Amino acid sequence: LGAVGILGTGALVGVFIGGCVGEWLYAYDSRFLTAFCSLATVFRVVPFCFIFGWTGLDPAGSLASHTSFMVVLFLGGVVSTMPSPGIGAMLLNVNLPETRGTVFAFYSILDDLSKGFGTLFVSMIVPYVGGRAAAYRLALIIWVFCGFALAPTWFTLPLDEAAMRTHLNDAAMESVVRVSKRQAAQQVTQRCKAAGDAFAKERDNRKPVRWV
């Protein structure tokens, strides 16, 4: 339970740090956010390689070994969640408001599916790689592939954001035009009605002409 708590605390801290760093980098240049997410996705493999592959990090050993294990576990939790806020921000900035719900739902489904698929993948390759530790280290390679897959967003994110801003500006202008037309039509209708009422009132007040 202590290890799970340390890992969860590290993950919470990693989300906060990733959000702050990503916001600062995005304010300077949006491409730096993509580089940060890509590098963080690749380098989060490092602490878990130590956890799964270094026998000196034995939680049942001495106090120093136990403390080292907890420190590396905390760092692993921190690094593992740092890219998440940046990836969510990128998805938010490049998808239409009408489709953002679908995109984030799909992203959440893939995130949950990866947890189950990762466990299944590790259990399937354990007999072939010589143990669970080696299986987990091999499964960590998937994070490396994901990091490299994020690298092309350095070129695509600014273009996608520009296209999104253009679309939103066009939609805003179209909305303004529609509202202006509606208001103009309402004003015309009100003025015509007022003119008709004034004419009817004047006609009713007009004295009839008597012929002698």
Indicate the pTM of the whole model.
0.75
What is the residue whose two structure tokens read 């592939």?
A: 145
pLDDT at 120: 84
Sign, CA torsion 48/54/60/61: negative
pLDDT at position 141 over 80: yes
> Worst-scoring range by mean pLDDT, 87-91, 140-144, 174-178, 196-200?
196-200
Residues 4-19, mean pLDDT to the nearest whole number: 89
Sequence-distant (6+) residues with CB within 8 A of 155 are none
> Worst-scoring range by mean pLDDT, 89-93, 96-100, 160-164?
96-100
pLDDT at position 212 over 60: no
Mean pLDDT of the chain: 81
The CA-CA-CA angle for residues 10, 11, 16, to 5°, reads: 95
Residues 32-55, mean pLDDT to the nearest whole number: 85
